[in-house]
Amino acid sequence: MKRKEDYPDLNKRFSGTKVTYKVKVIAKDSNRTLVHNNVPYEHLELLKVNPNLNVYVLEVKNKSFIRIREPGGSLNSEKIRKLILSNKSNFNKETDLLLYLSARSENIELIKKNKGKKIILIDRFSDSTIAYQHYGMGVNRKLIENINNHLLKDIRIDFTFLNTVNNYNMKKRLGQRKRLNRYDKFDTKFYNKVQNGFIKLLKLKPKKYIKINSNMNIKINEKIILDKIKSLI
């Protein structure tokens, strides 16, 4: 399985137990793509399961796959990620949107290259932009969808794992982080709007989503995710 050749820098960076992206885009076959959205935001470890569970299952099943996180995933996209999340940054909501979409644009060729050949695992994708930038920040939804559609064209998500968490656990887990980025410092109201936005998206396509209650015991969530992954591949 030639993952390192496909994703040299990030595979090395995210191969340990401190993996910060909790991907989970899997599929019944190599033509499918699944997305794992961690709610309510980027780095918060809402679902504290082994981040390599999905990788383990794919390796056991001898499935060829690549992993991408957003923002990030490729050399230029990782540069944009640093800019977005820097505590020194202070962008307006439209600039934030365009930076996220620019980071996604840098990954399109990587996705196209592997589409239909490998399973593509993505930590956050197009629905995250709707949840954060539209429901969270109030950016015009049509604008987001128009740019997304232009970038993605025939790229479609096959399945999404959505993690939800209550305010108490959100604050508790935030408090356990050694470093906070810009998106870790919004108020609770913002994160609630984002999470509710994800749930609205789930209701629009319930067969394409599974909601994971990240307040539950880790082992319970491990089993739910593993069972679903096995059924998908």
Per-residue pLDDT reduced to its tens digit, 124-153:
999 999 999 999 999 999 999 999 999 999
Instruction: Quote the pLDDT of residue 229.
Output: 80
Residue 223 has pLDDT above 60, yes or no: yes
Instruction: Quote the pLDDT of residue 7.
Output: 33
Quote the CA–CA distance of 172 and 48 in Å, as a whole number: 13
Based on its alpha-carbon atoms, the radius of gyration of the chain, rounded to whole angstroms, reads 16
Structural domains of the chain ordered from first start? 3-232 (3.40.50.300)
pTM of the model as a whole? 0.76
Instruction: Quote the pLDDT of residue 39.
Output: 35
Quote the CA–CA distance of 36 and 64 in Å, as a whole number: 18
Residues 6+ apart with CB under 8 A from 62: 1
Instruction: Quote the pLDDT of residue 227.
Output: 87
The 3-state DSSP class for residue 131 equals: helix
- pLDDT class of 64 with cuts at 50, 70, 90: confident
Burial class (CB in 10 A: 0-12, 13-18, 19+), 77: buried
